[in-house]
Amino acid sequence: MSPEEPASEESTTAVVVTASSVDEAIILGLTRLVSTRDEADIEILDEGSRGFLGIGAREARVRVTRRAPSTLPAAPHPKPGPAISEPKPVAVMGEPKSVMPEPTPAPVLPTSQPEPEKAVQIVSPAEVVAAPEPVASVEPAPTPKLRPVELQEKPRTERPSGALDRALIEKTALEVAKNLFAGFSIQYSVNWEQEDRPALWISLRGKDADIMVGPHAQTLDSIQYLFRTLLHRLTEGDYNVVLDADGYRKRRQRSLEALARKMADQAIKSGRNVRMKPMPAHERRVIHMILRKDKRVKTESFGKGHERAITIIPNIKEP
């Protein structure tokens, strides 16, 4: 395989492994190729991320490629023994006579030829840990436990509507936000808005605020549900909780107000009921509140669950 050609997902010389951590993926790749750390090239494709509360988490991804035999370090060959030199003829004065050397006894060979010495490979402690013996399966690393929120839950008692300890609710909301969004580059603020009932708006700003929205605001709705549940368990009173990220709720509210007025004009002009698309409860509440001031129409919600939608009914005066 040439260096420019990418390795396949699974072959006899290269594998791409995903696991909960980079070290675990390397161990699994070496195990599948039955190789050590020195016999393979390791490329980290993705270090992975644990995300936040399971949101945006992804596994580590590593490519492990077994090196070709020509690229592996060659084992040292045994050194040859000293050469046996033949004796030189000796010249004798007088009658020329050739002196033959005494025959050299043949060396006694052992019955079995000794095995060549094996090359000793020095392995560092770090490589011994990274390339263990092949195992059948590797258990995933345990997920670290989240730090508990140090807040005291107040006993639930009946409290008249409107008698809200707003200062205590704001302080508790800031403590929940501090623990819930720890580790994110987010600034948060709280303020009250008077709708059909008092509503506490928690506004998130900063570099990581836009990732809290998610597709079709599903991530923001999930975090808002969790935030509202925690806050209502720790405080008392009848109030609503709205979580806004990067101004998304405000922009959506202005869009819904314009849509409500447009649909009301259409109902008056046609003299027929106008059924809007299904919406979540907090968006239907915005439509009801806007058209409540318009005496020309009235609004009602029909349907169940995710199919519940608002119908705008024109007020036709009888002659």
Q: Which CATH class is domain 166-246?
A: alpha beta
Q: For residue 192, what pLDDT is reported?
A: 92
Domain ranges of the chain: 14-68, 166-246, 250-314
Architecture of the CATH domain 250-314? 2-Layer Sandwich (3.30)
Average pLDDT over residues 181-205: 88
- Only one residue has tokens 């169940």, namely 304
Q: For residue 300, what pLDDT is reported?
A: 94
pLDDT in tens, 131-147: 445 544 555 555 555 45
pLDDT in tens, 27-84: 888 888 777 888 888 888 888 877 666 566 788 888 889 887 766 555 555 555 555 5
Residue with the larger pLDDT of the pair 110 and 88: 88
Is residue 193 within 8 A of residue 236, CB to CB? The reply is no
Domains 166-246 and 250-314 share a fold: no
- Quote the tokens at residue 82: 């000293």
Position 94, amino acid:
G
Q: For residue 265, what pLDDT is reported?
A: 94
Q: Among residues of the chain, what percentage have pLDDT more than 70?
A: 64
Q: What is the rounded CA–CA span in Å between residue 218 and residue 254?
A: 19
Q: For residue 104, what pLDDT is reported?
A: 56
The dihedral sign for the CA sequence 190, 192, 195, 199:
positive
pLDDT band at 205 (very low <50, low <70, confident <90, very high): very high
